[in-house]
Amino acid sequence: MDFWLASTNLKLVEKYLKLGIFKGVISNPTVVAAEKKNAKKLFKDICEIAEIAYYQIGDGTSDRMLREAHDFIAINPDKMRVKVPATLNGLEVISTLSRGGSYVMATCVPTRAWMLYAAAAGAKAVAPYSGMIQRAGITAKTEEVIKMQYIIDAQKLDVKICTGIYDATEIPLYASHGVMSCFIWGKDVEKYLDQPLVQEAVDGFKKDWDTIQKNY
């Protein structure tokens, strides 16, 4: 399973990418705006650290969205990827970029039908926004994501789900159903990776380690 770090804070990016767990950085307008920096300069700096970085373009006319996408891909064509909102114009942009050879993630994808639209347009990844239909009382977020994966497998689609993790228990649940990619918010990384049972096991060897050290 691929893990992505959902943060554009340079200190957090540098700190957590050293763990070797994360494939790269993924972002949305909220995490970019939080840094209060020039976005292009910010992603240029991120590309100095990360192997892959996703920038989410804004919604608008197809031409404006394409210009913004090309501007950010040009920062580092080998590392930069874009997330495109799956609006009507966004689907056109996904198609244009994909036909041009860009690896595109469709975002703001609420349902299985929208996932199919995005895949048909050429998206190689989709970021489900199924939390919206959960809040609307339609179905559980995890259920919708898993059913998206069932369709991908049944149709043999060349697309990956990249879903947000809101509780560490979601990771093995999604993995067991074939979901190949997820992102963890920067604020949650240490909480999800701090497992008391691991530390308990390590502490159980303390006396033995002390004995070994004395006999060096």
Residue owning tokens 């993924």: 26
Mean pLDDT of 189-212: 88
Q: Is the pTM of this model over 0.75?
A: yes
Q: Which domain range does residue 18 map to?
A: 2-214
Mean pLDDT of 23-45: 97
Task: Catalogue the E-assigned strands of 52-93.
Answer: 53-56, 80-85
Whether 216 has a pLDDT exceeding 80, the answer reads no
Whether 106 has a pLDDT exceeding 90, the answer reads yes
**Chain mean pLDDT for the chain:** 95
Mean pLDDT of 150-157: 98
Whether 197 has a pLDDT exceeding 90, the answer reads no
Half-sphere exposure of 182 (CA within 13 A, CB side): 24
Domain count, the chain: 1
Mean pLDDT of 27-32: 96
Question: Residues 62-97: pLDDT tens digits?
Answer: 999 999 999 999 999 999 999 999 999 999 999 999
Contact of 109 with 140, CB cutoff 8 Å? no
Containing H/E element for 19?
A: none
- Report the CATH number that the domain containing residue 151 is assigned in CATH: 3.20.20.70
Q: Which among 113, 172, 187, 116 is positioned nearest to 142, based on CA atoms? A: 172
Q: What is the pLDDT of residue 48?
A: 97
Residue owning tokens 């609307």: 136
